[in-house]
């Protein structure tokens, strides 16, 4: 039996967030599902609100999005997901340089991730976390390569003993688009399957 000591961090939104929790519980891997909400922004230690604001402001600058808008507390809530994970796994779409996402043009000089997921991904990158993104348009996993500052297909690590599907860390953020496609559901299932297979290899 696998060790069920994995913790999933997400916002619990419809779509990818829900499927990460549902399929994780079915796999037997998840010990805890931590759904962060805007209520977690209340009663924080004195220095933490400023730290969160700085992270969100930096992400806004990179993404070319406003820092102040009606749903900004949802973005601030996403900070907890990035901060508490060892690695982040997102189901979304990668926006190329110059591409458009909901009216915002990507002028960052690098690839970014679409929608609200993009905020969490960018904050995780700023924190130096391992970041994996399944691009539903391209149908494959990418990882953020810090040396080159770009998303690289995970399959390119094959010569180093990796596969085209990443393996979970014990504390991870499983997030993504509300518009979850069948290929996105399949990608989540394959991550859990691959992680389970690793346990069976280590503990036959």
pLDDT per residue over 57-99, tens digit each?
999 999 988 888 888 999 999 999 999 999 999 999 999 999 9
Q: Which is higher by pLDDT, 200 or 76?
A: 76
Instruction: Give the pLDDT of residue 2.
Output: 52
pTM of the predicted structure, to 2 decimals: 0.93
Is the pLDDT at 197 greater than 60, yes or no? yes
Instruction: Give the pLDDT of residue 104.
Output: 85
For residue 177, tell me if it sits in a domain.
Answer: yes
Count the domains in the chain. 1
Distance from C-alpha of 86 to C-alpha of 160, rounded to nearest angstrom: 21
Q: Which is higher by pLDDT, 1 or 183?
A: 183
Per-residue confidence band for 204, with pLDDT thresholds at 50, 70 and 90: very low
Is the pLDDT at 201 greater than 60, yes or no? no
Is residue 98 within 8 Å of 106, Cβ to Cβ? yes
Task: Using CB atoms within 10 Å of the CB of residue 146, give its burial: 0 to 12 exposed, 13 to 18 middle, 19+ buried.
Answer: exposed
- Residue 81: C-alpha distances to residues 84, 88, 97 (Å): 6, 8, 26
For residue 41, tell me if it sits in a domain.
Answer: yes
Q: Among 86, 106, 85, 81, which Cα is nearest to 95's?
A: 106
For residue 15, tell me if it sits in a domain.
Answer: yes
Domain that holds residue 43: 6-202
How many CA atoms within 13 Å lie on the side-chain side of 42? 3
State both tokens at 145: 């390569």
Is the pLDDT at 172 greater than 50, yes or no? yes
Is residue 164 within 8 Å of 140, Cβ to Cβ? yes
Task: Using CB atoms within 10 Å of the CB of residue 151, give its burial: 0 to 12 exposed, 13 to 18 middle, 19+ buried.
Answer: buried
For residue 12, tell me if it sits in a domain.
Answer: yes
Torsions phi, psi for 75 (to 5 deg): -70, -40
For residue 164, tell me if it sits in a domain.
Answer: yes
Distance from C-alpha of 78 to C-alpha of 66, rounded to nearest angstrom: 16
For residue 57, tell me if it sits in a domain.
Answer: yes
Whose structure tokens read 């829900």? Answer: 18
Tell me the percentage of the chain whose pLDDT exceeds 90: 77
For residue 171, tell me if it sits in a domain.
Answer: yes
Q: What is the pLDDT of residues 107-141, one digit of tens each?
A: 999 999 999 999 999 999 999 999 999 999 999 99
For residue 1, tell me if it sits in a domain.
Answer: no
State both tokens at 172: 């991870």
């Amino acid at each position: 039996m696998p060790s069920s000591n994995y913790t999933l961090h997400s916002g619990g939104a419809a779509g990818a967030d829900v499927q990460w929790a549902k399929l994780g519980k079915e796999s037997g891997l998840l010990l805890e599902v931590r759904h962060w909400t805007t209520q977690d922004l209340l009663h924080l230690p004195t220095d933490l609100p400023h730290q969160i604001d700085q992270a969100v402001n930096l992400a806004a600058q990179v993404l070319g999005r406003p820092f102040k808008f009606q749903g900004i507390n949802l973005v601030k809530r996403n900070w907890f997901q990035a901060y508490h994970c060892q690695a982040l796994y997102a189901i979304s779409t990668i926006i190329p340089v110059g591409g458009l996402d909901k009216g915002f043009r990507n002028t960052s000089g690098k690839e970014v991730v679409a929608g609200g997921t993009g905020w969490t991904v960018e904050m995780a990158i700023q924190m130096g976390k391992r970041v994996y993104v399944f691009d539903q348009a391209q149908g494959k996993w990418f990882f953020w390569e810090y040396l080159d500052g770009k998303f690289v297909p995970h399959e390119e690590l094959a010569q180093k003993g990796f596969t085209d599907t990443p393996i979970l860390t014990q504390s991870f953020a499983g997030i993504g688009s509300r518009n979850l496609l069948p290929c996105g559901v399949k990608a989540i299932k394959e991550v859990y399957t691959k992680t389970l297979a690793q346990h069976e290899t280590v503990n036959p």
